[in-house]
Amino acid sequence: MKRSERVAGTIVGAAVGDALGAPFEFGPAGAFSARFPAPDTTGEMCGGRGWEPGEATDDTQMAVLVAESLLERDGLDPPDMFSRFQRWAASGPRDIGLQTRDVLTNGMPWDLAAAIHFQVGGRAAGNGSLMRASTSAVYFARGGRRVTMDAANRMAALTHGDRAAWEGTAIFHELIRVALEGTDPLDALPGTLAVIHPGHRERYATVLAPDWHPDQATEFNGAVWPCLGSAVWALRTTTGYEDAIRAAIDLGGDTDTVAAVTGALAGARYGIDEIPTRWTEPLHVRLPGSGERVLRLPQLLDLADRLGA
């Protein structure tokens, strides 16, 4: 498979997972399969909870903001990325993570906002930096392991003061990097765990272990550890893109984000051709704060091309 097919699979795979999972957010386990028992049926992009059928949520909206900052600034420009996030947050997106919203609207400068939020509140290990990382993971992959993991840390820190969120995003970046090389990301887990911050290694080793099941999570999957662990579990226990997404959404909870993270990993592993057209056709991304722009499959493929170049 060509690298470009894996790159497209990563970007589109994340967006599809987000849009498919959104109507089931905060719902019970098994809700997706209860409604759509057989694979390969139509109507799975059903919309609901305020979302149109095929509409991607804040996960993908922010991933696009990340992509456009990286491409237009020709690299990581943290104040630029932060101000794009702020414009978006101020424009009233339909959904926005609690920690992300607080940091983007607390009036502090880009290099203090997340740290102060964490200092005051003590909780900043949500999955909000992980959920938007598909585009940056593609962009930095060619730089190698150190470069992509460092970039992940810095971008996560824009909104999340807890280093746990940085390390989870860095692990995700590295798994996408190796998947784009054609290596099974599951084989890269031990080596990746070995290079994250030692203070966070044990907790990630637990949720990324081959015998871990999402039922063993000690937090809601809106937290970064079980979110990443659940996505890796969905990848490990299935053999194709569709099944991985179904497994992720059927976990319940923060279904759009768990499915977006799963979708990026599965899209990188299996490539764009494994993502069904019945899912990519209705897919669209509204961008509040950026005019009335709506990205559809051709625009997402173009974005993937430029990120992977």
The torsion angles phi and psi of 161, rounded to 5 degrees, stand at -80, -15
Question: Residue 190 CB: number of other CB atoms within 10 A?
Answer: 10
The least distance separating Mg ion from the CB of residue 142, rounded to whole angstroms, comes to 28
* Residue 5 binds to Mg ion (criterion: CB under 5 A): no
Under rule CB under 5 A, residue 58 binds Mg ion: yes
Nearest to 130 by CA among 156, 161, 111, 159: 156
- Helices 224-236 and 163-180, axial angle in degrees (round to 10): 20
Of the pair 44, 174, the CB lying nearest Mg ion is at: 44
Residue closest to Mg ion, measured at CB:
57
| Minimum CB distance to Mg ion, residue 95 (Å) | 5
The reply on whether position 57 binds Mg ion by CB under 5 A is yes
Q: How far is the CB of 61 from Mg ion (least distance, A)?
A: 8
> Which DSSP state fits 159?
T
Return the range that interacts with Mg ion (CB under 5 A); candidates 52-60, 72-80, 186-194, 292-300: 52-60
Angstrom CA distances, 32 to 26, 183, 187, stand at 12, 30, 29
Q: How many residues contact Mg ion, by CB under 5 A?
A: 4
**Interaction between residue 135 and Mg ion (CB under 5 A):** no
Cβ-based nearer residue to Mg ion, 158 or 188? 158
Of 31 and 209, nearer to Mg ion (C-beta) is 31
CA–CA dist 193, 176 (Å, integer):
14
- Stretch of 53-61, 144-152, 187-195, 235-243 contacting Mg ion, by CB under 5 A: 53-61
148 binds Mg ion (CB under 5 A): no
The distance of closest approach from Cβ of residue 258 to Mg ion in the complex, given in angstroms and rounded to an integer, is 10
256 binds Mg ion per the rule CB under 5 A = yes
Considering beta carbons, is residue 128 or 185 the nearer one to Mg ion? 128
Please pick, from the candidates 59, 102, 162, 250, the single residue that binds Mg ion as defined by CB under 5 A: 59
Query: What backbone phi and psi angles, to 5 degrees, belong to 81?
Result: -60, -45
Provide φ and ψ at 100, rounded to 5°.
-60, -45
Residue 195: C-alpha distances to residues 56, 152, 172, 204, 264 (Å): 33, 14, 13, 12, 22
Candidate segments 30-38, 55-63, 115-123, 144-152, binder of Mg ion by CB under 5 A: 55-63
User: What is the rounded distance in angstroms from the CA atom of residue 202 to the CA atom of residue 19?
Assistant: 32
Binding residues for Mg ion (CB under 5 A): 57-59, 256
